[in-house]
Structure formats: structure tokens, C-alpha cells
Amino acid sequence: MKTILVTGANGQLGNEIKKASNKFSLFNFLFTDVNNLNITDEKELEDFFSINKINFIINCAAYTNVDKAETEKDKAEKINVFAVENLAKLSKKHKAHLIHISTDYVFDGNSKIPYIETDKTNPQSIYGETKLGGENSAKKAYKYIIIRTSWLYSSFGHNFVKTMLRLGTDKKEINIVSDQIGSPTYAKDLALIILKIISKTNKDNNNFIEGIFHFSNEGICSWQEFAAEIMQQKKLKCKVNPISTLEYPTPAKRPKYSLLNKTKIKKTFNIEIRNWESALSECLSLF
């Protein structure tokens, strides 16, 4: 039985992998978080790998506070870059496949068409810079897959959907940015794709096709349209007013356009991706 190490298991994606793991009984799962495995500590990680035979690593651990990263660069770098380097080293030493999660923030958001994997990166924030650094670290692994995703949400942790549900219940109207365009990602859908990729590799090692892939749910929207859809689906009476990014300044710059082209992941692994409204509907049914 092959063993999958999941780091950052108490986050949104980690929790969704945990939830889905019972459908993948051919694998032994080790779910870890900073409390029981500090991946920034190379010695601790080395000890863990020497005790456990790891075949696959899914790195969900990340520093994700986009605005705080502007003043906590060292902390963001430690988790998003150096910890990934530690995992890559151990991956190489123990011949474990690494699947690392990255972000649309590695792009500057100046595109007019969905980003493909080979488009030039140009992060505009410390968070984006450290995530790009993490991608470079991940490439040093025995074998790697990097999945860039965007606007992640789930029924776990802190996220935009949960915030909107709270505000939609408490307020009659809210203002949400309407000039940042992308596509939401239901963490459950991403979790299932990752586990399917690993399952294919388990059958045939040649099915692990290295490289960078993009994944989000299908479709396009602004944050304001995303919020309005949440209100509509949950029949909340809160009005969602569109505002510009200039009217809602933040410490970190956000990409204005971060739609990801998913053609490569769909063709490579023969998968279908549902649209974001449908995925949202399933998530909201849990609340």
C-alpha cells in the first residue's frame, strides 16, 4: 500500500482531501499540520521520512495571508519557499512524488485572456513572490506537479464564501470589488483531481506527468458577481454593490485579471471540470 503525506492538513484543501480519502482506500494517508510536523524544520522532516515510507507528498501548507505578507516577508518565505525546498530535498532522497499547490498571484493580472502555464510570471505582492519561489523549490523534487489555483473556498476554514454568508445575514447591503476578474475554486473539486492524478500514477508510474498545471472551476466572474451569486443561491436579501479596486485599497496588490486556462490539465489527465456556479451550489448546501 502506497503512502500519501498531506501537509497543511487542517487548511481548506487539506480538510477536503481528508474528507475524500475514504474513497481512495488503496492508499495509506498521513495527515499532518505544523502541530505534528514542522516542515520548515529540515531535521524534523528528515526524521519523519526515515520512519515513514512516503510515496507521494501533497503540500497544502502555505502562508496565505496576502496583506499580512507585506510586513511578514520572512515568515511567508519560510513557509512558502524554504519549507517547499525541504520537501523537495526529501522527495529526491526518498523518491517520493511531490504535488505542490500554487496560485494565480504569480501573474501580474495584466492579461486579457486566460493564463496558460507557460505565460510569463510577474508577481505584484510579497505573497505572490514567495509562492513563485515555492514553485522554483518544488521543481527540485524527485518528480513534481505544481497546480496553480485561484479564489479557493470550502466549508472549512476562513474564506470569501463564509465571509459573504456572515455579511449577507447581518447587513442589508455591502460593497464588493467588481473590477478583479477570475474564477472561484471549490477545494473539494481540487482535492478529488489531485487524488485521481495520484491514483493514475499508482497504476502506472508513467501517468505522473511532471509540470505546471492550472485548475479552477469553469466560468468567469468578478468578486462582486461571486458575492451576488452567493446571496442569490442562499436567498439572502443583502444587496451587493459594485465598487472599484481604487475604492477598496489593500496593503497588497491583487491581480486585476487572473483567469486560468485549464486546457492542459483537462487533456493531460482526461478530466472534466464543472462550472463555478454548480460547485458553489454544492458547497452552500452544507451551510
Catalytic residue status for 127? yes
- Burial of residue 107 (CB within 10 Å: 0-12, 13-18, 19+) is buried
Domain boundaries, the chain: 2-159+183-220+259-274
Nearest to 121 by CA among 265, 134, 153, 62: 134
SS3 147: strand
Question: What is the separation, in whole angstroms, between the first and last Cα of the chain?
Answer: 36
d(CA 169, CA 109): 32
Query: Which CATH superfamily does the domain covering 2-159+183-220+259-274 fall into?
Result: NAD(P)-binding Rossmann-like Domain (3.40.50.720)
Q: Which of 63, 105, 115, 127 is catalytic?
A: 127
pLDDT by position in tens, the chain (length 287): 999 999 999 999 999 999 999 999 999 999 999 999 999 999 999 999 999 999 999 999 999 999 999 999 999 999 999 999 999 999 999 999 999 999 999 999 999 999 999 999 999 999 999 999 999 999 999 999 999 999 999 999 999 999 999 999 999 999 999 999 999 999 999 999 999 999 988 777 777 899 999 999 999 999 999 999 999 999 999 999 999 999 999 999 999 999 999 999 999 999 999 999 999 999 999 99
